Chains A and B, each alone.
Chain A
Amino acid sequence: MLSALAELIVPSDGDGPGARDTRVAESLERHASRSAEVRARYARGLAAIDLVARRHAGSPFLGLPPARQLDVLGRIHAVAERVRWRRDASWAARVRRRLARVHYSVAGWGARHGMGEAHVFFPRLVDDVLAQFWTSRQAWQWVSYDGPPMSEGYPDLGTPRGA
């Protein structure tokens, strides 16, 4: 399931590398296996996404065609955006956010909303996938980035290092 999700977040196509080419899912599994806490978070998050797929699309996530999988993720993303942290730290705003989070989390809150942890997990998954992908040499090569700041620095400001 992780590799399917990673591939939806950064798809591989004829145009350039994607999550599959850069082995993002394997890296994420390694990353998750290092700590029990992360492993548990991933397990809960993936289960929650699967539950949303069953509720909204009537099938386990992996049983859906890619377009329907994207629909499910789009729905989760929309809710995540709605409860996203905003700059307002007033009590009213905090209470509103908390209520929204509870509202969308509670499984069984009418089959239309219950997200479990999916809307909390998904933005973090996106970030983890991007972190793995954009720290890979294939991705760097594709956008012509010349590599980490140190230890060489950039002797020439106008041309790529070593060019």
Chain B
Amino acid sequence: MPPRVAFRASRQQPVGVVIVGCGAGGGVLAKELSEAGLTVLVLEAGRRFIAGVDYRTAEREFEVTAPTVFAPEPSRDRHTCHGTAFEVSRVKGVGGSTLAYLAVVPRFHPSDFRVRSEDGIADDWPLTYEELESYYSEVEYELGVSGPDGEDASPFEPVRTAPYPTPPHEFNKASLAIKRGADRLGWHLRREPLAIPTKPWHGRPACLRAGACMFGCAAEAKSSIDVTYVPKAEATGRVEIRPRCVAREVTVGDDGRARSVVYLDAKGQEHEVFGRVVVLAASAIETPRLLVMSRSRRFPAGLANGSGLVGRYFMEHLAVVAFGVFDERLDAWRGTPAGGSIQDFYETDRPNAFARGFTIEVNCSRQWPLAVARRLGVWGASHRARMKDVFGRMVGLATVGEQLPDVRNTVELDPVVKDSFGLPVPRITCEARDNDRAMLRVIPRRLTELLEAAGAREIWEPAYMPGWSAHYLGTCRMGRDPRTSVVDAWCRAHEVPNLYVGDGSVFVTGAAANPALTIMALAMRTAEGIVRAFRDGHA
């Protein structure tokens, strides 16, 4: 759908709100703020993708060509690691990482917001599940989330005030094989909530069960931000999205308020835009980077970084991946890549040597011929025989384990390495700490147990894959106390009254659930706070 641009921000006049980043958080904010009557300028580092044109999932060579579409630009999108190598998986573009997400959108559980009260570790969020519940529902209806209600619902599902907008997806044969094991063990494998409607939704078609969500959905069936929130935002006539514009600094005025955003366009030329409010929604890696790059005399350690906590408490989810090979054909590539989840180990269980828990997900992605051939890692006479033996009979499991926040896990500026604009690249330190390591000792056993119970004839040793979760969180945490947090309960910077953070960086803890829905629900709530600030004359 071509963008509708009725509004163009002028160079001199400040707009109502400048948003940096048009992903899960930024896209929601753009719609909510513009529908409330504010003018909005969105700076987005990546380009705009057109579903029917850019995605390459219908080609014979799709396994080679489709992954190139969202591939990082090697000189622009660099990062370095300190310690364990950390693979970064994200997308820059109008829609952000939701362009590639598998659209698994569970809610967090009530206990996730009270980790310190319940478990005596980490911190509580400055808001509760109950306060976020109505926002969860509204986002679910915007996305047309499919999920099971009634008897089919997960027994661990938190209280909801509205049913899922669309019915759940069917299980494919691979998920049914795993379900057999889960049933035997008394675990509850259920269809997970997916932002993939099972019936036509808001003018988009129902899912074709093509299984290519990570390469962009050419049918526009997957509810990514570019086909849900962005068109609604642009339809207000009050939003301008500028793709291929990389923010490099937020400036502050003498009054200590955010004044402008300096950015570089596709040609590397510098521009400045002014807003009464600035929202950073560039992701938990890029938002702290931008804040620390925005050093000034007033904020020598980086903007809004009086606490020294910008970039600290970086979290991802502990992703342990296992594969099972079965005697029967599973043909796992048919249907959505996500194939159901088990939340029996989600909450803290006292006998464990660790607090909090993990979700097990059936992962049907990348079971195509070339992906399996590469995974086997053999060539020569045995290659084809091995392929014949395992192809179509394999299914994956992956965990979303709760990594606890740790002040030593960080996103900082690399002191040496620069990107193509000459800006310092993010340097990531993300180690599994004590509690994480204890959990990582148990997860492989559970995965193996499940595959055995399901009747797998071959089980590949579960492997922990740092970075693989693609769920990057923390780094500008919320809290009531400016000494121990960066933003307040409305995601407003403690130190800069017109600066907000609208992405996954504000998370206090990471829970054991995929984060996109919570990022969107929080962004919606933050938009409400911003609109109130305008109304009350504080913006």
Contact = CB atoms under 8 A, between A and B. Distances in A.
Nearest to B175: A157
A126 B374 CA distance: 9
Nearest to A18: B384
A157 B172 contact: yes
Contacts of A157: 170-173, 209, 334-335
Contacts of B172: 157-158
Contact of B63 (A129, A131, A154, A158): A131
B496 interface: no
A153 B368 contact: no
Contacts of A129: 379
Contacts of A28: none
A37 interface: no
A70 interface: yes
A90 interface: yes
Contact of A131 (B83, B211, B370): B370
Interface string A120-163: 00000011011101110101101111101111111111101000
Contacts of B379: 9-10, 77, 126, 129-130
Contact of A137 (B55, B60, B211): B60
Contact of B212 (A88, A139, A150): A150
Contact of B369 (A87, A139, A151, A153): A139
A130 B392 contact: no
Contacts of B57: 148-150
Interface in B350-381: 368-370, 373-374, 379-381
A149 B374 contact: no
B219 A153 contact: yes
Nearest to A93: B85
B81 interface: yes
B327 to A, nearest CB: 15
A94 B203 CA distance: 52
B380 A8 contact: yes
Contacts of A70: 380
A148 B58 contact: yes
Contacts of B368: 145
Contacts of B59: 148
B84 A88 contact: yes
Interface SS, B side = loop
A95 to B, nearest CB: 15
A143 B388 contact: yes
Given A130-B370, A139-B369, A153 B381 contact: no
A148 B384 contact: no
A89 B83 contact: yes
Nearest to A74: B380
B197 interface: no
B209 A153 contact: yes
Interface in A45-94: 70, 73, 77, 86-90
B369 A143 contact: yes
Contact of B370 (A15, A77, A134, A149): A134
Contacts of A137: 60
A16 interface: yes
B5 interface: no
Interface residues of B, number: 48
B299 interface: no
A22 B152 CA distance: 47
A154 B210 contact: yes
B374 A154 contact: no
Contacts of A90: 83
Contacts of B383: 9-10, 130
B209 A144 contact: no
Contact of B60 (A13, A135, A152): A135
A90 B172 CA distance: 42
B49 interface: no
Given A8-B380, A150-B218, A89 B84 contact: yes
Contacts of B81: 89
A108 interface: no
B62 interface: yes
A126 B211 CA distance: 27
B464 to A, nearest CB: 9
Interface string B189-219: 0000000000000000001111110000011
A151 B384 contact: no
B58 A145 contact: no
Among A86, A131, A150, A155, the most chain B Cβ lie within 10 Å of the Cβ of A150
Contacts of B64: 131, 135
B191 to A, nearest CB: 13
A153 B63 contact: no
B58 A130 contact: no
Contacts of B384: 10-11, 15-16, 18
Nearest to A87: B85
B58 A150 contact: yes
A141 to B, nearest CB: 11
Contact of B333 (A13, A15, A149): A149
Contacts of A150: 55, 57-58, 62, 208, 210, 212, 218-219
A15 to B, nearest CB: 7
B25 interface: no
Contacts of B84: 87-89
A73 B380 CA distance: 10
Contact of A134 (B85, B212, B331, B369): B369
A87 B58 contact: no
B164 to A, nearest CB: 20
Interface in B438-471: 466
Interface of A: 8-11, 13, 15-16, 18, 70, 73, 77, 86-90, 126-127, 129-131, 133-135, 137, 139-140, 142-146, 148-158, 160
Given A135-B61, A139-B369, A154-B210, 8 more contacts: A10-B379, A16-B388, A87-B466, A131-B64, A134-B63, A148-B59, A149-B210, A152-B210
18 contacts: A10-B384, A15-B388, A87-B85, A126-B379, A130-B373, A130-B374, A131-B63, A134-B63, A135-B63, A145-B391, A148-B57, A148-B58, A148-B59, A150-B212, A150-B219, A151-B58, A153-B207, A155-B209
**In the A-B complex, the 4 residue pairs with the closest CB atoms:** A153-B208, A149-B210, A149-B212, A89-B85
